[in-house]
Structure 1
């Protein structure tokens, strides 16, 4: 039983190497945690209630870990867009891109422009319009999707300032 749990956990970890395998990562981590929790519970207790608690705790911990890693990926993407927009004047256009070191989502790229200055001085904020560009493939032509967000200066860095998730526009990135 413990060997099966280790195998499933290894499969969940290996799924990280697959770009765009977010759902496989999430489900694999939770399934592996459930099996590992059951294996540990079987070694620790014969009490069904305690075993259930251990299993549910392991699944909850795995789910929290998956959600945390997804938030980190989204924050890194948002920071990349904000950094590209920070030095722009109204109407300026710059490219942005992100290469994820933790490949649970595709690497992304696009363009960003500042549509207006929201405030300046003690609180520097800009409204931006950015694209997420899809390159042409054998199956589909190149395409762009456009989104609106706000960025503000935080010390010397520019940070994402839009509420998250405000609406279901670009997954959890906005």
Structure 2
């Protein structure tokens, strides 16, 4: 609590990055194992580079360089995201919050999961509105468009790491201590 706000933000970013790398490592190793066993081969893929993507679980570049909450969420745990999109989102009147709450229930009954998925859902909805309002203002030049993209990546990275803490800590007391 006695650290400055920038230092606490840096600590959260470092902690979240280290934990996220553990997930990346696990997902990529599992993908490699599936590919070694021939399970990842997609004979229907039209693009040669996507031939071995049937069991791909994570798109690291998409997560780390996402410019919208939708991009960020779509790059994580791809088969589960596709399943949630088809079974809950498409059938549930395109409800982001309903889809996120089903995903939270899938993870377990810790309050941190529900808080994390609720914040992610609200962030997706707010992000859509903000993008709709602000995007045209930055289309005037290439520099403005690039600046907007970089700003989106930075803000979304900070929000991702800030929200990721609630997923990892799981208990409300710990989450609110960090968030305050």
Q: Same fold (TM over 0.5)?
A: no
Whichever of the two has the greater Rg, that structure is 1
Structure showing the higher strand proportion among its residues: 1
Structure showing the higher helix proportion among its residues: 2
Return the structure number with greater relative CO, CA threshold 8 A, min gap 6.
2
- Please tell me the TM-score bracket, short chain as reference: under 0.3
